[in-house]
Amino acid sequence: MSGVAPVLITLGDPAGIGPELVARAHLAGELHDAMVVGDPAVMARGLRACGAATTAGPRLIHPLDAVAQAARAAGLAHGAPASAPPWATLGQVDAPVWEALAWGAVDARCGAYAALCLQAAVGLARLGQGRAIVTAPIHKESLAAAGLPYPGHTEMLQAWANPGGTPPDVRMMLANDELRVVLVTIHQSLRSAIEAITFERVLQTIVITHAALRAWGLDQPRLSVAGLNPHAGEGGLFGREEVEVIAPAVAAARSQGIVVDGPHPPDTVFMRARHTPQRPGACDAVVAMTHDHGLIPVKYLGLDQGVNITLGLPFVRTSPDHGTAFDIAGLGQADPRSFLAALAMARRLSPRA
């Protein structure tokens, strides 16, 4: 471990399966190069859910200690905000409260705690004190109950990645061994998502995807763009977005030297892109217009290996492609495979420095 920045892991929502996933990874010996950003009492809940002793947890830093450490390392200029937002205090809960917390319930304290852990991890990663961040699942209703103005991880990461400066342009990728999909729009209503599909945003998504795949070692990545409407609009018969927005963005990306085609009908492009032992896919990633268009095909292939990757950040961030699973939280039934895949992906994409 000497000289190697750790992989930073956040525990997610304390009422969900996140603490158990981290505990299972620890018990399997998979956290040898990791540091957990969280409260020892929350980690102990995860270990107990696995039927394990709570005295042998992973290497851990309390989120408040991590925020202070990041602030000191940055000369008090690049750590947490000078005046902590109201939700931060809400997430500072004493150990007995965590120990008695109900599993599987929306709780403002849990939403605030999850955000506090993420903010702390981001502060450490920005300062080179973590080479990647792996986030356990959070619950969007708990975030909202805590008063967080962000609907999910992606938006919080974007807001906190460059405090005081311009937020980076980020995109969500969901990936497994067979398919990579990047989204133009994510956590918003379908109606508002359609309105948000602009030439600039589609082109920017293509450019961000191209840059990420090149950074991962693909010299000339091949991209395919999915349309929005049935049959990709049939030349304007079923909608004008392909003609007026998406196709021009694809042409503009090609003029920049990016290998990209489309827009293709959304009901067939994912089949063409899928990599299998029998047939290599027709592209290295698909750009999809909306959240469900892009994520349904990846998740249908199986949640156990899916990984959520945030593109465009100044550090690597991955997460499992499932949620908090409130229905099984605390029962010792959580499947850690997607979390372990996210951890493996974080290691693969981050430099050991």
pLDDT, one tens digit per residue, over 166-176 is 999 999 999 99
Q: Which two tokens stand for residue 184?
A: 């133009």
Q: What is the mean pLDDT of the chain?
A: 92
DSSP H/E element including 59: none
Predicted confidence (pLDDT) at residue 2 exceeds the cutoff of 60: no
Q: How many CB atoms lie within 10 A of CB 175?
A: 20
CATH 3.40.718.10 maps onto the chain at 1-170+313-353, 177-301
CATH of 177-301, one of 2.60.120.10, 3.40.50.1580, 3.40.718.10, 3.40.30.160: 3.40.718.10
Q: Which two tokens stand for residue 190?
A: 């379908």
> In CATH, which superfamily holds the domain spanning 1-170+313-353?
Isopropylmalate Dehydrogenase (3.40.718.10)
Calculate helix-pair angle for 108-126, 63-73, nearest 10 degrees.
Answer: 30
Q: What is the pLDDT of residue 75?
A: 59
Kindly state the percentage of the chain with pLDDT values over 70.
95
Predicted confidence (pLDDT) at residue 209 exceeds the cutoff of 70: yes
- pLDDT-wise least confident of 88-92, 108-112, 138-142, 242-246: 88-92
For 93-118, what is each residue's pLDDT tens digit? 999 999 999 999 999 999 999 999 99
Predicted confidence (pLDDT) at residue 250 exceeds the cutoff of 80: yes
Give the separation between CA 269 and CA 262, rounded to whole angstroms. 9
